[in-house]
Chains A and B, each alone.
Chain A
Amino acid sequence: MQEAVVEALEHWPTDGIPDKPGAWLLTTARRKALDRLRRKAKYQEKLSLLVGSRPQEIRGEGDDRLQLIFTCCHPALSREAQVALTLRAVIGLTTSEIARAFLTNEATIAQRIVRAKRKIVEAGIPYRVPPPEEMADRLGQVLAVLYLTFNEGFLASGGALPERRELAEDALWLTSLLVRLMPGEPEAIGLLALMRLHLSRAQTRFDASGGIVLLKDQDRSRWDHAAINEARQLIEQVARLGRPGPYQVQASIAAVHAQAPSWVETNWLEILIFYDSLLAFWPTPVVRLNRAIALFHVAGPIPALEEVDRLVADLDDYHLFHATRAQFLRALDRNQEAREADARALELATNPAERALIEHRLGDL
C-alpha cells in the first residue's frame, strides 16, 4: 500500500518545466502556450484510452488520476497543501508557477508540497478513490479545492501575471476531467457550469487599463452567449437527477445574471430565493452577505443594511463586507458613514483592481 503511494509521488509530472531551471521565466507567450498544449495533450492521450472503457471501470481501480485527485485533496491535509499538491501532481504546474499564481515565494510552496507528501506517507493516507459511503464528503473537498483555485485565478484574470489568469482555465479543465471520470455526480457538473458562466463574462470584467468593470456596467453583448447556453443546459440536465447541492445553486444564481438582458431587468427575487436555498447548504456569513445584496435589490437598503450589520462580528476583517455596507449606506444618503466604510474596505483589500475601484468611489463622494 505505502509503496504504491511512494511510487505515485515519484512519478509526478516533471516535464512541465524547461531543462534549464528558471528558463521558463524568459519564455514567450507562444512557448508558454505550446507547453500548455503539450501538458494537456498528455492527459487527453490518457483520456482517450478511457473513452472506450465502461463507466464502472473508470470509477474503479483503473484510473490513477482519480486516485491522485482524491489523495491530493484528502481532508487530513490542510487546504493550502491540497491546492498546491493538486496543481503540482494533477495539473503538472511547477512549484515556481504555483508560487507566482498564488503571489507567494517558491520556497513556501516547495516546503508545503514536501510536508504534504511526507504526511501522505507517514500518516498512511490511502491512495484510492473513496468508497461510496465517504464519497459525498470527499468529493466536497475536491470541489472546494477546484473552486478555490478557480477563484484565485478568476479575480486576477485581468491582472499582469498570465500564470494567475491561466489558473482559472486549469481549474476549469480539471473540473471537466472530473465530470468525465465521475459522470453521475451532480455537484461536479454544477461546479463546471458555474465556472463556465463566470468565464463567459471574463472578457468584459476589466477595462483596457486593467480596472474592474462591475457587473452592472459590463457590455453584455460581449459575453460568450454560446457558453452561457451550454452552461444553462448543463444546469437543466443535472436538475433532473434530483440531487441539488450548493454548486448547482450557485450556478443557477450565475445563470440568472447571465440571462438578464440588462442590470435593471435582473430577476433579483429569483436570485434571493436561490440564496435562501444556498444558505440551507452553506449557512456562512459570506453567503448571508451575498444574500443581503439580493435583498437590497428586492426590498431596499433598510432591511439589507440591518442584515449586514448583524454580520459585523464575523466579517469585520473582510473588505467586501465594508464595501457592501458602504453601498447600502450611500443608497440611504448616509454619505459620511459610507465613506468610512469604504475607507475600511480599502485598508483590507489586497487585489490592485479592487483597490482602484474603492479609491475611485472614495474620490467621487
Chain B
Amino acid sequence: MKYMLSFIEEGSPDQVPEAKRNETYARIGEWWTDLAQKGKITEGHQLQPPHTATTVKVNGGKAVVTDGPFSESKETVGGFGIVNVANLDEAIAIAKTWPGVGVFNRKVEIRPVIEREGM
C-alpha cells in the first residue's frame, strides 16, 4: 500500500542549536537516501517555510488569493513523502525513525493514498 507521510512542524528549526540542527539535517538526508534505495520511499520533498505559502480559494465564483498557509493553526506541513509498504505497521515503523521526530519535536501524519488502476 502507498501512504503519504506529512511532516508536521510547529515553530522554527532555528530553536535547535546549530550543530545539532546540521547533524539532524544530515541524518534526515541519510534517512531519505536509505529508504529510497530500498524502494520504500518513492517520492517526497521538503517545503519552504510557511511564510512562503499562498492560498487560493473560490468565493462566489471568484478566485481569491491570500497570503499564508490554508490553516490558521500554528502547525503546518513542512514536507511530505510517499512510501510504498506492506501495511500501516510498516509505515508507522518508518515514521518513527524519521530523525526530526526526536530533535525538532515534529509529528508525522500517515494517510493511505487512493490507488487507482492505470495511475
Contact = CB atoms under 8 A, between A and B. Distances in A.
Contacts of B93: 134
B112 A122 contact: yes
Interface stretch (A124-132, A155-163, A253-261): A124-132
Contacts of B92: 76
At the interface, is chain A mostly helix, strand, loop or mixed? loop
Interface in A80-126: 122-126
A1 interface: yes
Nearest to B91: A124
Interface string B69-105: 0000000000000000011110111000000000000
Contacts of B112: 122-124
A115 to B, nearest CB: 15
Which of the four size classes fits the interface of chain B? 10 to 19
B45 to A, nearest CB: 23
Interface string A136-155: 00000000000000000000
Contacts of B16: none
B89 A130 contact: yes
Nearest to A130: B89
A74 B89 CA distance: 10
Nearest to A134: B89
A204 to B, nearest CB: 45
Interface string A62-85: 000000000000101000000000
B86 A123 contact: no
Nearest to B87: A126
B87 A1 contact: yes
Given A126-B86, A126-B88, 4 more contacts: A76-B92, A124-B112, A126-B87, A134-B89
The 6 closest A-B pairs by CB, nearest first: A126-B87, A124-B1, A124-B87, A124-B88, A125-B88, A123-B88
